[in-house]
Structure 1
Amino acid sequence: MSHKFKPLDDRDWPESITSLRDGFAGRLNVYRVMAHHPDLLAAWAPLRQHVVRGRAMTDQQSEVVILRTGHNLRAPYEWAHHVSRARAVGMEDARIATLAAALESMAEDDRVLARAVDELMTGARLQPGTRQAVISLVGDHGLFDLMATVGFYSVLGFIVNSFDVPLDAEVAAELQARPAP
């Protein structure tokens, strides 16, 4: 891990974003790394609120999108954290495992979402048929939220991969007791 950009501990946390330390940002190493740029983390917070809490997709649909994004980015931190989140929202390990496999191995709804992620990440656009399939599954707002989720988690993937951000202790312990698929 880059020594310069390790997760900040509480004593080094920037005063300008103290309120974020006691919320979402203080709970995860990725945000403790992002805290090296306090203005970015402060600007990030409202988008995070929408992408994570206010989106039009269901929790499971969101996890499908995030896991496929993490897989495409080869981001072990994102994959591990979202295996944990996917389990917490009721997804079985066998289903989670398909999200790192060929589209043909997935259930139809997961395939629609994963295909959209793949198209965005490889071609920076959705094909008309994919766009319509996503709208049929999650609606117009869900379509935009899917794109925002891919972008949001791509930035996080760039951070965790560039700085070798360590897994958070509780996720590491969970995956040691029950390895990720």
Structure 2
Amino acid sequence: MTRPFLPIPDSDWPAEIDDMREGFAGQLNVYRVMAHHPDLLRAWSGLRAHIVHASALGRARAEVVILRLAHRVSSSYEWNQHVARGLSAGLSKPRIASLRGPLAGMGQDDAILAGAVDHLLDHSKLPPAQMAQLEDLIGRPAVLDLMATLGMYLTLGFLLNSTNCPLDADIATELAQNAPELRV
């Protein structure tokens, strides 16, 4: 019988990554699940730090990309986490809701970003015209950060969907109070 990948509680936290427990790794269930593989979690931290804190996309555009990806890979954990983050980054509820629909129902900039997400997921590359459109909108470094963000959150989507990682209680409460219509 397969044992579930439950978020690791503080009492069972691996000693080799004890220094990470008080930081990002101990704050979210997804990283408490990833702590089943301490070397992976430690290696993850550098890319995560760049994507979360230093991306050339900027916070709001990064949330658009992550929300579209979460929708496309049916990751309810990522969708719900990033609804809350998107709201705190200034995205409106209608804007967030539009990211689950067709590109024609989005604002122009969001449609360009979501279209890039869709094309990368469907074809594993962007055609030259779409690359140029994206670069005109966000700049070359942000195009690369979009791809890196997509790769990182795609990996998280695989992990989350395969382990049935539970949504963090604080996010569930926040969504119930502020955006129940957006929760999946």
- TM-score scaled by structure 1? 0.97
The DSSP-based 3-state class of the residue aligned with 2:4 is: helix
Per-residue deviation, 1:133: 1.2
Higher mean C-alpha deviation, range 13-22 or range 27-36: 13-22
Note the aligned Cα RMSD (angstroms): 1.0
What amino acid maps onto 1:115 in structure 2? G
Residue in 1 that maps onto 2:180:
179
Rounded Cα–Cα distance in structure 2 between residues aligned with 1:130 and 1:21: 41
Q: How many residues align?
A: 180
Residue in 2 that maps onto 1:30:
30
Per-residue deviation, 1:48: 0.1
Cα deviation digits, residues 44-74 of structure 1 (max 9, x gap): 0000001111110111100000000101100
What amino acid maps onto 2:180 in structure 1? P
Per-residue deviation, 1:4: 3.0
1:76 aligns with 2:76: yes
Residue in 1 that maps onto 2:42:
42
1:44-59 matches, within 5 Å, as 44-59=44-59
Residue in 2 that maps onto 1:63:
63
1:73-152 matches, within 5 Å, as 73-152=73-152
- TM-score scaled by structure 2? 0.95
Instruction: Flag structure 2 segments of 5+ consecutive residues without an equivalent.
Output: none
Per-residue deviation, 1:180: 4.2
Rounded Cα–Cα distance in structure 1 between residues aligned with 2:43 and 2:181: 32
Residue in 2 that maps onto 1:15:
15
Instruction: Flag structure 1 segments of 5+ consecutive residues without an equivalent.
Output: none
Residue in 1 that maps onto 2:154:
154
